[in-house]
Amino acid sequence: MALNVDHLLRTAATLEQALLAIERLEKQDDVIFDLYRNAAIKSFELSLETAGKLLRKALTAYGASSREVDKLVFNDVLRHAGKHGLLDILEVERWLTYRANRNNTAHDYGEGFANETLKLLPQYLQDVRALAPHIQKVFDAAS
């Protein structure tokens, strides 16, 4: 089975649609706003986890064993991705911020925090879409 980034791009597309739906809403105190905000945040969480799994697989192409990569915490996976050119320094910093935010979304269910997360998502969407072709190149080269 060839590895690809199709699922990652699908989660990005879902996130984009949720963000576009939010932009079209006239008021933010509506339950529909909550629905789309929650969909955006869930898409963010899913795509971040998917990106992490794909990065782990991509790192094995640089000589690390699957066992070694599996021992890495997510932040170290991001740092190694930077080391191998999958992310630049600024992207690594942003991805570390996304991860920290994700860790908080798992424990903080407040409306204020959810709205703060929404502010990160347009840049995140750009970053996830920029990362996907880098990962795909690694998979293509390894096959």
pLDDT digits (tens, 9 = 90+) for 65-118: 889 999 999 999 999 999 999 999 999 999 999 999 987 765 556 777 788 899
Phi, psi of 92 (to 5 degrees): -60, -45
Q: What is the pLDDT of residue 102?
A: 87
What pLDDT score does 125 carry? Answer: 98
CA distances from 120 to 100, 113, 142, 143 (A): 12, 11, 33, 34
Q: pLDDT digits over 10-25, tens only?
A: 999 999 999 999 999 9
The fold of the 6-142 domain, in CATH, is: Four Helix Bundle (Hemerythrin (Met), subunit A) (1.20.120)
What's the pTM value of the predicted model, to 2 decimals?
A: 0.90
Q: Residue 81 has which token pair?
A: 């991705």
**H-assigned helices in the chain:** 6-24, 31-59, 66-70, 74-83, 89-105, 111-142
Domain positions in the chain: 6-142
* pLDDT of amino acid 43: 96
